[in-house]
Structure formats: structure tokens, C-alpha cells
Amino acid sequence: MVRRRPKNASRLSIDTFDATLDAEQVAANALRPANHEVVILRVSDTGRGIPTEDISHVFEPFFTTKSVEAGTGLGLAMVYGTVTQHGGHIAVESRVMGGTTFVITLPAAEGTPEPFQPPPQRTAPSARSVQGRILVVEDEPQVRAVFAGALRSRGYEVIEAADGLEALAKVE
């Protein structure tokens, strides 16, 4: 069976490559430390694009062009924070109805990478090893579940609430 893409479907492309930048390119990308050896991740789509007036805001926390139910506006802000905390740079280019491209430039690691070691298996904490009780208040069910699961795996008793009113009722 041959699957055909719908006419209005967007294509997503992800490219990675190593590069050596000259001093001017390092300065333009504000790389820390001034590393000339970089790794570049380019993510492009052929979608609707981002309106020109929104480009300067896409990395701001809680900025979104979506409806309240469709997104929080934290995704690109978190990407920006992660990239800059690792001494990198992120840029965006977009044309309305012409797609969007994000280019992430990160300093290359020095030396030889260590082989991957899977984390040790954790066992569920026993009732005697409870670290304390934590109230997690988060309106996004998936985000709340991630936080609650992470805390439970570290031995905390977790009480979950979707909003302030539910939290107050559970505290009482």
C-alpha cells in the first residue's frame, strides 16, 4: 500500500553536522567559550511559517500564537534556555506560507566521548523511606504526571491538584 501525503501536509527536515567557524562567526553566534569547533542542528519545516511581527517574540516564555487549550508557549523558551546555558546560539528564519528553520549552534565537546552507561535500576521506595509529602499543583495533566512521577520515584508522597481551588480542598 502506498501512502500519499495530504496536499496541505508540511515536511519536517532535521540535519546535523560539524563545522569549524572563523572568529567572526564565533562572535556573531556569541558562543561560549569562543569555540571554533561546533555542532549544528538545523530543524526546518515547509509549514505556514511565523508572521514577521512574532519572530522577535518566539523565545519569550508564555508567548504563543495558539489558543489557550493548544499550547503553553514554553517549548521554545525552554529550548532557548537550554541552548544558551550550554554556551550555544539559536536562530530562527521564517516566511509566512514558506516554512520555518531553526538553527542551533553548540560548542563541540573536546576529547573522546565516554561509552553510554545506562542508569542503575531503581527500586520503588518502601513505605518507611518516604522523604516527605509534596503538593503538586499544575493545570496541564501531562506535566503534572511527569512531576508527580519523578517525585514519587525519589521517595516522596505526592498529592496532585489541577488548580488552586482543588489544592486548597486537598490541603484541608
143 C-beta neighbours (distance < 10 Å), count = 13
Q: How many CB atoms lie within 10 A of CB 32?
A: 14
Amino acid 32: pLDDT: 65
Q: Mean pLDDT highest for which of 21-35, 57-71, 129-143?
A: 129-143
Maximal CA-CA distance, the chain: 62
End-to-end CA separation in angstroms for the chain: 59
Convert the pLDDT of each residue in 69-121 to its tens digit: 766 667 888 999 999 988 889 999 999 989 999 999 998 887 787 887 887 77
CATH T-level assignment (fold) for domain 12-107: Heat Shock Protein 90 (3.30.565)
Query: Is 127-171 assigned to CATH 3.30.565.10?
Result: no
Domain boundaries, the chain: 12-107, 127-171
- Residue 138, amino acid: E
Q: Is residue 127 pLDDT above 60, yes or no?
A: no
* pLDDT higher at 23 or 152: 152
pTM: 0.59
Which amino acid, one-letter code, is at 153?
S
The per-residue pLDDT for 8 is 67
Q: What is the pLDDT of residue 71?
A: 67
* Cell numbers describing residue 6: 495530504
Distance CA 19, CA 60 (A): 28
Identify which has the larger pLDDT, 34 or 61. Answer: 61
Assign 3-class secondary structure to 79-124: HHHHHHHCCCEEEEEEECCCEEEEEEEEECCCCCCCCCCCCCCCCC
129-155 mean pLDDT: 86
Other Cβ atoms closer than 10 A to 28: 13
Q: How far is CA 134 from CA 45, 48, 162, 168, in A?
A: 41, 42, 14, 13
CB 75 within 8 A of CB 114: no
Taking only the tens place, the pLDDT of each residue in 146-170 is 889 889 888 899 999 998 899 889 8
